[in-house]
């Protein structure tokens, strides 16, 4: 196997203590780090002073660099012979566009390595006291994107999400919360199903709102949360008042 020239590294959900040992080692050995907007400063501070940092973060309708350009940038840096770390929030292969970057590297014959990270669903759920599965409440979990590219309408298999034994986790869903609520209820999900929004999960800024699917949008209007924010829908959310152990939480009337 050829030595990787590019390491696609998951930085986890925001708390630097949740970095994997391998991620930390690669960051500290990097000559170039190409990083996203959601990688916190505490993790960026682990990058050697001698390393070049390239910011390629994206926000809604504000991309510092197009994804296609990021893909080709990694190819160019690898061809310079640098030790390249592509540092992404969460996990590179879960709504992280890491697979697109890996495909471009493969097409150009660039050896690469994927370093998994703690994805937001696992990290935010754990820190908010919401187990994504629990015997008698949830036998499975489904990760769903909460937004579409270029502000297109969110299209999902809504009827496929009506199983009450499955926890639903929506990433980057604040802007489309009304669409999600309306379509899930229309598909047969009980409006009284427990639901939560977790903002800045695993960090010192973590805040959460607990409500129901039918009332969460109104609750967030009263208690707005900043992005990044994760939406969790399922019976397991009802365990949060007993299991929440980290930081502050805000409870909304269900």
- Report, as residue numbers or ranges, the catalytic residues: 36, 58
* Full DSSP string of 100-153: HHHHHHHHTT--EEEE----HHHHHHHHTT--S-BTTTBSEEEEEE---GGGPP
Distance of CA 131 to the CA centre of its chain: 17
Bridge partners of residue 6, in order along the sequence? 84, 112
**Residue 187 corresponds to which tokens in the numbers above?**
């598909």
Phi, psi angles (nearest 5°) of residue 153: -65, 140
Q: What is the helix (H) or strand (E) element at residue 172, kind and residue range?
A: none
Q: Which of 101, 195, 204, 210 is nearest to 146 (CA)?
A: 195
């Amino acid at each position: 196997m050829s030595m990787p020239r590019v390491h696609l590294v998951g930085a986890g959900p925001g708390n630097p203590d949740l970095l994997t040992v391998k991620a930390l080692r690669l960051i500290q050995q990097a000559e170039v780090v190409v990083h996203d907007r959601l990688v916190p400063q505490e993790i960026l501070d682990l990058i050697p002073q001698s390393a070049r940092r390239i910011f390629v973060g994206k926000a809604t309708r504000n991309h510092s660099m197009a994804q296609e350009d990021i893909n080709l940038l990694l190819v160019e840096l690898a061809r310079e012979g640098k030790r390249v770390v592509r540092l992404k929030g969460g996990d590179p292969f879960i709504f992280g566009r890491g697979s697109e970057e890996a495909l471009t590297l493969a097409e150009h014959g660039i050896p690469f390595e994927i370093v998994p990270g703690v994805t937001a669903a696992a990290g935010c759920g754990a820190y908010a006291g919401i187990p994504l599965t629990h015997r008698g409440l949830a036998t499975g979990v489904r990760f769903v994107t909460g937004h579409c590219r270029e502000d297109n309408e969110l299209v999902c298999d809504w009827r496929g999400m009506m199983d009450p034994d499955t926890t639903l986790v929506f990433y980057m869903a604040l802007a489309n919360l009304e669409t999600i609520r309306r379509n899930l209820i229309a598909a047969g999900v009980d409006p009284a199903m427990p639901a939560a929004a977790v903002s800045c999960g695993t960090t010192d800024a973590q805040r959460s709102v607990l409500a129901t699917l039918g009332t969460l949008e109104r609750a967030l209007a009263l208690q707005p949360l900043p992005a990044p924010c994760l939406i969790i829908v399922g019976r397991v959310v009802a365990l949060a008042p007993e299991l929440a152990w980290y930081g502050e939480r805000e409870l909304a009337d269900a």
